[in-house]
Amino acid sequence: MTSRPDKAAFPLPRRPRERRDRWPLARIITVAVGLLALFSVAAIVVGVFALTHLSTARGRVVDRIDPALQASLRLDAALVDQETGVRGYAISAQRDFLDPYTAGQTAERDATAALTPLLDDRPGELADLRQITALAEAWRTGYAQPAISAVNAGGAPGANLDVGKAAFDRVRAAVTDLQGDLNRARADAAATLHSSAAALNTACIGIAVVLVLIVLTLAFSLRAAAIRPLTKLTAEVRTVADGDFSHEVVPSGPREVHSLGVDVNLMRQRILRELSALDARTQDLQRSNAELEQFAYVASHDLQEPLRKVASFCRLLQRRYSGQLDERADQYIEFAVDGAKRMQGLINDLLAFSRVGRVAREPVPVSCATVLEQAEKNLAAAIEQTGATIDAGELPTVPAEAPLLTAVFQNLLGNALKFHGEDPPHITVRAERDGDLWRFSCRDNGIGIDPGYAERIFVIFQRLHGKSDYPGTGIGLALCRKIIEHHGGTIWLDTGTERGACFRFTLPVLPEEKEDHARPDPA
């Protein structure tokens, strides 16, 4: 009596409790993205501040101080033109010399109008401008206008030239002071501009350096926290998937990866549990099958001798006392002889079924045409009796055991001869190459088989008809399947056949034919 595996010996593994201090991968990514976003906001604020400071410094130089300097130069030129015109008119008394004086006054007013708004945020320079305007007006009032009037009257200028020169020198000195203040302001603004540009450059470089450091830190952190544990888990899972179920998966990393590792480990333990139970059941089945095959072989072999004796004496009774007893006695003897014959056929078939695969023999090249011809010879009487025709195409040579392959063809042909319809049996045998397999078909025009019995017919001792209708032991197709599977192929009923029955089976091609088929044709 075989023992069944006890599942209690393989307890189901339980999932360990998760550690709450282990960060999930979503939190790690959220923190990393948050740090990048925070740094980006800080970088934007710093950059905007530096750009604003630079723009302010540049605007002070370009939009105010430089235009003010240019306007002061125009103011100085206008004042010099006025002094030159007055002096020339006083010397030559020609009206043309007064044109620079008149134009200079206009230019002075324009320059003053341009300077005033540019100096509204610089009170010192604005006071210098007002002083220049006052001194220029005093020069014109105290010297230029009297001198022009005296010349117009036909005499020499009444004012002293030295007095006029001294007054104009004070005007020039005030203009020089204004320009000096503006130049110093420009130098300060230029320094501030350079400082702002340097600060912006430093901020940009600092932002770039810090960004690179943050990205590298996050990359190494993510690699250490997520990618490395995931890579390690992948390698361990691949080891388990390759069949090493005893390899324990050590979970690590963020919560999701750790949880996945735990689940894989639990799955591995369940597989080990099921494999252990399956191994125990497989051993029981192998032992049971071996015992059954041994029993079938021994029983069949040991039954042969007494059965032959029973059959022999039954035949002797039939020959010696046939017609001497009453009709019922003859019928009883006929029943005994027929039963002995059928029992002998059943034992022979059972012996043949149990012998398949018991002794491992090296397959040799077997011509399917030859074994089919031998099967036809073995069935010659039935072929002649039914008027059957067999149409065999070109059949290959396969690695097999000739007697077993003969038994396959003989059973398939015998079924076609046995289960024929009203027309004489017509059997077609074909074979075609399908990769590394030969695909055979055996088709007849008989009564056919219901597709619902496509699997049942290959079970040993299964019959679809009564013994009185069609003789047989119910072992033939089961023997065919066992022989075909022993040779590495498969056999099945083609349920798509409209008339008759069609059995298909596969057998491997010869090893050398596999190599020739795989070798590419030379160009």
Which structural domain range is residue 469 located in? 362-518
pLDDT of residue 356: 61
Are 397 and 511 spatial neighbours (Cβ–Cβ below 8 Å)?
no
Q: Which residues of the chain have pLDDT under 70?
A: 1-22, 25, 155-161, 225-226, 253-256, 289-305, 307, 322-323, 325, 338-360, 461-474, 515-523
What CATH number corresponds to the domain at position 67? 1.20.120.1730
pLDDT of residue 232: 77
pLDDT of residue 121: 84
Q: Which of 226, 250, 283 is the last residue of a domain?
A: 226
pLDDT of residue 432: 93
Q: How big is the CA angle at 203 (ends 201 and 208), to the nearest 5 degrees?
A: 95
H or E stretch at 92: helix 66-92
Same domain, 369 and 221: no
CA 328 to chain centre: 82
Residue 289 belongs to some domain of the structure: no
DSSP one-letter string for 461-522: T--SS-TTTS---S-HHHHHHHHHHHTT--EEE-TT-SSS-EEEEEEEPPHHHHHHHHSPPP
Residue 165 belongs to some domain of the structure: yes
Q: Which of 226, 258, 293 is the last residue of a domain?
A: 226
- How many domains are contained in the chain? 2
Residue 369 belongs to some domain of the structure: yes
Q: Which of 226, 254, 287 is the last residue of a domain?
A: 226
What CATH number corresponds to the domain at position 468? 3.30.565.10
Phi, psi angles (nearest 5°) of residue 520: -70, 150
3-state secondary structure (DSSP) of residue 305: helix
CA 154 to chain centre: 108
What tokens appear for 272 in the block?
Answer: 């080990």
Question: What is the distance between the alpha carbons of residues 149 and 90, in angstroms, rounded to a whole number?
Answer: 10
- What residue type is 381 in one-letter code? A
Structure confidence by residue, pLDDT tens digits, 38-86: 888 888 888 888 788 778 878 777 888 889 888 889 988 988 888 888 8
Q: Is 71 exposed, middle or buried (0-12, 13-18, 19+ CB in 10 A)?
A: buried
Question: What is the distance between the alpha carbons of residues 339 and 311, in angstroms, rounded to a whole number?
Answer: 9
Residue 303 belongs to some domain of the structure: no
Torsion of CA 15, 21, 25, 30, to 10 degrees: 150
Residue 428 belongs to some domain of the structure: yes
Helix segments in 356-504, DSSP class H: 368-378, 380-386, 402-418, 476-486
Residue 153 belongs to some domain of the structure: yes
Of 96, 93, 100, 97, nearest in space to 151 by CA: 93
> 10 Å Cβ neighbour count for 372?
22
Of 409, 428, 412, nearest in space to 371 by CA: 409
CA dist 245 → 15, 158, 275, 331, 334 (Å): 18, 124, 10, 67, 64
Residue 235 belongs to some domain of the structure: no
pLDDT of residue 367: 92
Residue 399 belongs to some domain of the structure: yes
Structure confidence by residue, pLDDT tens digits, 408-456: 999 899 888 887 778 889 999 999 998 889 999 999 988 888 788 778 8
